[in-house]
Chain A
Amino acid sequence: MLLTSYFLAALAIVLAWPTPLALSKAKWTARAPVAAVLLWQAIALGGGLSMIGSMLVWGLTPLGNDLISALHAGWLLVTGDTSVQYPGVVHLFALSTALLFAFHLVLTLVRASWRTTLQRARHRQLLRLLSNPSQTRPNTLVLDHDLPVAYCVPGFNGSVTVLSKGLLTQLSAEEQRAVISHENSHLDQRHDLLILAFTAWNEALPWLPTSRLALDAVRQLIEMLADDKALEVVARPVLLRAIVSVASSIASVGAPKNASSAATGEVVGMPGGEVSSRRLQRLLSPVAPLNRLQNFVVLSCTVLLLVCPTVLLIAPRLLSW
């Protein structure tokens, strides 16, 4: 039990700090956005699991030799069985911390999804009053504004893609196809749930700078995923032209400073006129996707990150020789 808790604590620390830091700097993620997104999820889940697990297991050490018997003893203690030895204040503290932390994570997730739901409801309500359904495309609304804008509003009962009139008049038919398939893939692949999970993770652990890194990395990766989908229907230059048309006309009307690019840091344009965001770099100079072996290695790491803490929690006897 004791060894297990130490190992879980070490894992938690590795997953909380050096691993996300290294992954956010890694170049290969642009070559395999799918695997990278999965790995980020495994890091967050495995990290949370081992953080809670290490405290839980350590707190339960005096009560039994493995999690099951310790939990049983804990239950007897709570129900007033005097034959069980009282574990002592430090261990009780660790136990309460584990429970509070788990509760805190769940609560933050619930709160974030509730807030997002309300914001979307409000946004949809205004859309109902201000936009018109597209004559030619399903689940698409057209907003009467000259700024070329495209985005999607996800929802469990019907997601919609919103296009502005400016987008429809200023972009060619091909460019519009690029934009629309990009947006649709966000909806099809439920990227909103990913963002929700990582937003909540970031809110629950504001003192952990790497939770911010994870959110920014996942934001970039989903854009790459959507770009890849768009490239299945249009050629690369078309997608690039569409991006440049939308981005530069929004810039030219002096739209309020984009909060996300300021926060992301990474995507600030270089003074020398270079393109620094990875999303654009991989569109400008395509790189080969990871080969099968490399993909296999990444996926194995992903699986291990989830399996390790789980197995250690459920079968701590493995380590308590």
Chain B
Amino acid sequence: MASLGDLERSVMDLLWDSAEPLTANDLRDALAALGTDAKELAVTTVLTVLARLEKKGLVARERSTRPHRYTASSSREDHTVGLLNDALGTAQDREAVLARFIGGISADEAVSLRAILDSVKTV
């Protein structure tokens, strides 16, 4: 049996890859088709995972339809850019990520440094 964390990831992957909103049943079927360990997955488990993801702000629920349909609240790319913003120190909260590799080096300096290294190489 896959852990909740693994299931969250599989559900997110399905929602990200899907062009249209999915119901819990759709997701259960898709998960069952995906792998062996998701075979006896109950719809209630999928609903639990979706509730958790919704609480974390990763999933949006359409309440107008029955059964409810779910979408990813923002794209995979947007989330990746968010992570990179944390990492590059462009986000407001700069402590989340410690010292990125280019810490303390500005863009201008990178250009100058490249010039210096290139000149060393050609000599």
Q: Which residues of A contact B (CB under 8 A)?
A: 112, 115-116, 119-120, 122-123, 125-130, 143-145, 147, 149-154, 162, 164, 179, 182-183, 186-187, 191-192, 195-196, 199, 219-220, 222-223, 226, 237, 240-244, 246-248, 250-251, 255-261, 264, 267-270, 273-277, 279-280, 284
Contact = CB atoms under 8 A, between A and B. Distances in A.
Contact of B84 (A145, A191, A277, A280): A145
Interface string B80-112: 101111111110011111111111111111111
B16 to A, nearest CB: 9
B93 to A, nearest CB: 5
Contacts of B56: 125
10 contacts: A123-B86, A126-B79, A126-B82, A150-B101, A162-B83, A241-B117, A243-B102, A260-B89, A261-B107, A273-B115
B58 interface: yes
A238 to B, nearest CB: 11
Contacts, number: 180
Nearest to B114: A244
Interface in B1-26: 5, 8-9, 12
B76 interface: yes
A260 B90 CA distance: 8
B99 A191 contact: yes
Interface of B: 5, 8-9, 12, 56, 58, 76, 79-80, 82-90, 93-117, 120
A153 B106 CA distance: 22
A274 B84 CA distance: 28
B112 A150 contact: no
A258 B99 contact: no
Tell me what chain B mostly uses at the interface: helix, strand, loop, or mixed. Answer: helix
B114 to A, nearest CB: 5
B95 A151 contact: no
A129 B83 CA distance: 11
Nearest to B92: A259
Pick the 7 closest A-B CB pairs, nearest first.
A269-B108, A251-B107, A247-B110, A119-B96, A248-B110, A261-B106, A151-B100
B101 A277 contact: no
B110 A152 contact: no
